[in-house]
Amino acid sequence: MTDKDAVPLESPFTLSGKTAIVTGGGRGIGRAIVQRLASARANVLACDLDRQALEETQASVYHPERIALVCGDLMQPAFPQEIVNAALEAFYSIDIIVNCAGFSWDSVIQKTSDEQFLAMLNIHVVAPFRLLRAASDYLRETAKQEIVSGQRVMRKVVNITSISGTDGNPGQVGYSAGKAGVIGLTKTMAKEWGRYNINVNAVGFGLIQTRMTQPLKPEGKINMGGRDIPIGVQPAMLDTIAAACPLGRIGTSEEAAGAVLFFCSPLSDYVTGEVLICSGGYHF
């Protein structure tokens, strides 16, 4: 084959005209997902607790006008409906929902308070449930109109779980329970919403390079609901996991976002109710 015979490679899909909601879009994997979706020409409503982080996400994409922002606490019952309203006001549609927001608050069970355990359930299971419930009227009614007119328009939900949820992990009783709950939510919604041409899948991450998995330091904390919560991983554990991983390293946020992008794209139109593990082959 000569250069004249070569066919230029083109992207197998575009998300032009689609609107995505991404929770936790201010940092880490959430920011990388926003960037990937924007690069595929989607409009994105990014939400996070940190306004400055959201603005940095918006500034990081080539077409910042494709990004709208809403700042608030997902663990507040009314906020998911605000997110849905903001997406429809900004872009007039909802085609993709990525439930990415989360954090870890770790302890062995005898040291885990009710507040701590419930916080893990609230952010990882209850918040995605509320967001999907808030979006359900728009998604169902729009799909019904499309089906009556003979159209098949596929929409996407991608929930984020973890190998802590699929395998369990000592010291993460709340986090693991929350992430296991995500899988049940995903599989049930895939069965409920298949009739509306909505694919509902989950991506389960292993260890990905974010502020949550940085080496543990005394100053490493996030503030949630007025509480300072330690974040980070013991350096020895990071080294052990990297050595045990078949790929020999910890993943990047961009690699994590690539797995999510697959489920947001037309390439996954006949895939629903599945959990894709993005861990470099590592399991606890």
Q: Pairing mode, if any, of strands 227-230 and 221-224?
A: antiparallel
Q: CA-to-CA distance for 212 and 231, rounded, in angstroms? A: 5
For a pLDDT cut of 90, what percent of the chain falls above it? 83
Q: Which amino acid type is present at position 283? A: H
Q: Is residue 282 flagged as an active site residue?
A: no
What is the DSSP secondary structure assignment for residue 65, as one 8-state letter?
Answer: G
Q: CA-to-CA distance for 253 and 262, rounded, in angstroms? A: 15
How long a stretch of residues is the chain?
Answer: 284
CB atoms near residue 112 (< 10 Å): 17
pTM of the model: 0.92
**What is the sign of the dihedral through the CA atoms of 12, 189, 124 and 166?**
negative
Q: Would residue 109 be called left, alpha or beta, if left means φ above 0 and alpha means ψ between -120 and 50 degrees?
A: alpha
What is the DSSP secondary structure assignment for residue 267, as one 8-state letter?
Answer: G
Collapsed DSSP state (helix, strand, coil) of residue 9: coil
By mean pLDDT, which of 87-96, 111-120, 228-237, 272-281 is the weakest?
228-237
The per-residue pLDDT for 3 is 46
Contact 202, 178 (CB under 8 A): no
The per-residue pLDDT for 78 is 97
pLDDT band at 1 (very low <50, low <70, confident <90, very high): very low
Residue 14 pLDDT > 90, yes or no?
Answer: yes
The number of angstroms, rounded, from the C-alpha of 39 to the middle of its chain's C-alpha atoms is 17
In the structure encoding, which two tokens stand for residue 82, read together? 């605000």
The per-residue pLDDT for 219 is 64
The per-residue pLDDT for 2 is 44
What is the C-alpha R_g of the chain?
19
The per-residue pLDDT for 173 is 97
Residue 6 pLDDT > 70, yes or no?
Answer: no
> Of 62, 92, 138, 175, which one is the catalytic site residue?
175
The number of angstroms, rounded, from the C-alpha of 122 to the middle of its chain's C-alpha atoms is 15
Q: Please provide the average confidence, as pLDDT, over all residues in the chain.
A: 93
The per-residue pLDDT for 241 is 87
Collapsed DSSP state (helix, strand, coil) of residue 155: strand
CB atoms near residue 43 (< 10 Å): 24
Element (H, E) at 44: strand 43-48
Q: How far is residue 40 from each of residues 9, 34, 47, 59, measured CA to CA in Å?
A: 15, 10, 19, 17
What is the DSSP secondary structure assignment for residue 122, as one 8-state letter?
Answer: I
